[in-house]
Amino acid sequence: MSREKNRALRKFSIILLLLLLSVGAWAQGGPPPGGGMPPGMFGVDSNKPTSNDVTTYTAQNFLSLVHQTDIRSSFYDSDMTATITMVSVSPEKGTMTRKEIIYRRDKDDAFLMLTLEPESRKGQGMLRVDNNMWRYDPTSRKFTHTTLKDQYEDTTVRNNDFRRSQRALDYSVTSLTSGTLGKYNVWIAELKANNDEVPFPYIKMWIDKEHTVVLKVEEYSLSKKLLRTSYYTNYVQIGASYVPTVQIFQDGLIPEKRTQVTYTNISTKPVPDDVFTKNYLERMSQ
């Protein structure tokens, strides 16, 4: 990639980061160096209109963009391994840092996550396979069934945040407008869940018109109460995928409670089949 594009990437990431800092959404710990979204790197979608006039833009057009973001942030042609660092800030518990390793096989909607730090939680894990989710406690050596809706370790993160993105399958568009987010021109849509597996029945999305990336998502209850706001502040290209490597999840009821999730050491090397099993999780937790 040319120096000009690298400079454009850094500028894009820095401006968006400053925008989010201005609304108080930044979790402690800060973003990793590098990254950004390469401008003009996306393919053309036949449903994407050339006009910015919202009257010419349909719900199906927007859902097509959502589908693009789902595909580009996932790894359907390879496995994925990464280190996840989570910095959680809570008025009651202060700041806590966790480190995990995650293995994902997006074509099967499967993943396994193993806790590396802190030492007191080392060996704990979570497995999603065959549409079932399990948490493993190495102390009791027991598996407990969990769901995509559940909170992860009393943070603002939900289990659903670790799987492949599939908002275009889980939601349908109920309204669509055109607007801005800071200096960015965006499509803004309200969506309703198509199933009861997702954590939030209603969401509102901001997708950058130029780069076709998700910048912000507000997530609501059935009564339309704001439960969480998610920000995606940094992207990197891994093969054909564009991964949101810095994600911030802010509690809608307690604004001071938030979690920053940072992905590093991302690899697309094949993962052995036995990794996505309970036996593997038990062995690695010993």
Listing DSSP states for 84-135 in one string gives EEEEEEETTTEEEEEEEEEEEEGGGTEEEEEEEESGGGTT-EEEEETTEEEE
Task: Supply the DSSP symbol for 43.
Answer: P
Give me the pLDDT at residue 58, please.
Answer: 81
* Partners of 264 in the β-ladder: 83
Give me the pLDDT at residue 16, please.
Answer: 43
CB neighbours of 204 closer than 8 A, spacing ≥ 6?
Answer: 188, 189, 190, 191, 217, 218, 220
| DSSP percent split of the chain into helix, strand, coil, nearest 5 | 20, 40, 35
Q: Cα torsion for 122, 229, 49, 38, to the nearest 10°?
A: -50
Bridging pattern class, strands 132-137 and 241-251 = unpaired
Provide the residue range defining the domain that includes 7.
3-284
Bridging pattern class, strands 132-137 and 142-146 = antiparallel
CA dist., res. 192 & res. 209, Å (int): 22
Look up the CATH number of the domain holding residue 248.
Answer: 2.50.20.10
Give me the pLDDT at residue 9, please.
Answer: 40
CA dist., res. 164 & res. 235, Å (int): 15
pTM exceeding 0.95: no
Find out whether 190 and 204 touch, Cβ atoms under 8 Å: yes
Task: Supply the DSSP symbol for 78.
Answer: S
Give me the pLDDT at residue 23, please.
Answer: 35
Q: Tens place of pLDDT for every residue, the chain, 286 residues?
A: 444 444 444 443 433 444 443 333 333 333 332 333 333 333 334 455 455 666 677 888 889 889 999 998 999 999 999 999 999 999 988 999 999 999 999 999 999 999 999 999 999 999 999 989 999 999 999 999 999 999 999 899 999 999 999 999 999 999 999 999 999 999 999 999 999 999 999 999 999 888 888 999 999 999 999 999 999 999 998 888 889 999 999 999 999 999 999 999 999 999 999 999 999 999 998 7
Query: Six-digit token pair at 163?
Result: 């799987």
Query: Six-digit token pair at 232?
Result: 């995606």
Q: Distances from the Cα of 170 to the Cαs of 55, 66, 207, 233, 234, in angstroms?
A: 25, 11, 17, 23, 24
Give me the pLDDT at residue 197, please.
Answer: 92
Sign of CA dihedral 54, 59, 61, 67: positive
Number of domains in the chain: 1
> Tell me: the pLDDT tens digits for 4-17?
444 444 443 433 44
Q: Which residue has the tokens 């859902």?
A: 63
Element spanning 248, H or E: strand 241-251
